[in-house]
Amino acid sequence: MGNILKHINDKTATLTINRPEALNAFNEEVIEKLEFVIEETIKDDNVGVIIITGAGEKSFIAGADIKAMQKMDQASALEFGKKGQLLTKMIENSPKPVIAAVNGFALGGGCEISLACHIRIASENAVFSQPEVSLGILPGWGGTQRLPRIVGYGLANEMIVSGKMVDAKEALRTGLVNHVVALTDLLDKCEEVASQILKNGPNAIAQSLKCINGSIGLDLESGLKMEVTRFSELFSTDETKEGLSAFVEKRKPNFR
Ligand code: DAK
């Protein structure tokens, strides 16, 4: 797929943004191809976990393509913004967990793509930033919405209005990422987390992600109601019967 490389191993699909000459910055073509490949991968029964990373050793995604944005007017900026938001929503709503393997710069739209992923694992050279205001624009792919939910308003406000660069150590300390490892170990660590996930029931995973995503904007009472409904619905599935029976019969469940 040119700008997007796809590799499947042990039910884990690794999607690599491959535009190293622009530090993997996103133009419309990359957005559209990634959207196509993610949709295809979500539908693939051979895949249970998706990893997104960037080509090379320097950059995850250096943001939206600034050279392309320079030529945009209000109407084309709206289209570009909507495309990016569609992509981030597709990642966030994926029933299969999506792990961002952040191997360097995660700037602007690149940081926002990582925020839409369910789990972020970074290499020691990773840098997160929302530098949009330095370009006279604002984060348009969900940064103002997702970043405060993940790191809290204090750090999110500072990152968004100052463009502050957050290194891997600070990202780990503030909960922006789940793990930090050496660059050479990054994909191994992501695959280790993926293999832990793959031991579990795929439907239970998908329903859990729906509950977590669905909790946003709900009061606790409504959220608990949604949770118990989805919990009880699982009991009509073979997967739940298998998981519970396997425990009682002292054997490993056969989910996949
Ligand atoms: N876009 C296009 N090209 C980029 C790029 C980007 N974001 N980032 C890097 N490149 C290109 C550079 O232009 C250079 O290409 P050539 O000049 O060699 O042709 C090549 O990648 C290597 O970059 P550098 O030579 O600059 O490499 P350095 O190591 O010196 O510096 C850097 C690395 C990442 C610190 C620097 O490249 C940099 O500051 N890049 C810009 C990072 C940035 O500001 N990213 C945020 C972009 S804004 C919205 C839609 C979208 C968005 C917002 C709203 N709506 C429509 C609602 C999202 C906005 C963004 O993401």
Out of 21, 29, 40, 132, pick the active-site residue: 132
Interval 173-202 mean pLDDT:
98
Which of 23, 30, 141 has most ligand 1 atoms within 8 Å of its beta carbon, as the pocket-test mutant? Answer: 23
Burial class (CB in 10 A: 0-12, 13-18, 19+), 59: buried
User: Could you report the per-residue pLDDT of 75-133, keeping only the tens digit for each?
Assistant: 999 999 999 999 999 999 999 999 999 999 999 999 999 999 999 999 999 999 999 99
List of domains in the chain: 4-197 (3.90.226.10), 202-248 (1.10.12.10)
Q: Structure tokens of 41?
A: 């991968």
Residue 1 has pLDDT above 60, yes or no: no
- How far apart, in whole angstroms, are the C-alpha atoms of residue 67 and residue 7? 30
3-state secondary structure of 216: coil
- How far apart, in whole angstroms, are the C-alpha atoms of residue 37 and residue 44? 10
3-state secondary structure of 17: strand
Burial class (CB in 10 A: 0-12, 13-18, 19+), 46: exposed
Q: Determine whether the shortest distance from the Cβ of 86 to ligand 1 is under 6 A.
A: no
Q: Determine whether the shortest distance from the Cβ of 107 to ligand 1 is under 6 A.
A: yes
Residue type, 48: G
pLDDT confidence of residue 214? 94
3-state secondary structure of 1: coil
Mean of the per-residue pLDDT values for the chain?
97
- Dihedral of alpha carbons 134, 137, 143, 149, sign: positive
- The percentage of the chain sitting over the pLDDT mark of 70, rounded to a whole number, equals 100
pLDDT confidence of residue 30? 96
More confidently predicted of 256 and 89: 89
Spatial contact of 65 and 135, defined as CB atoms under 8 Å apart? no
DSSP tally for the chain: helices H, then strands E: 11, 10
Residue 59 has pLDDT above 70, yes or no: yes
Interval 230-245 mean pLDDT:
97
Q: Determine whether the shortest distance from the Cβ of 251 to ligand 1 is under 6 A.
A: no
Spatial contact of 117 and 64, defined as CB atoms under 8 Å apart? no
Confidence of residue 256 (pLDDT cuts 50, 70, 90): confident
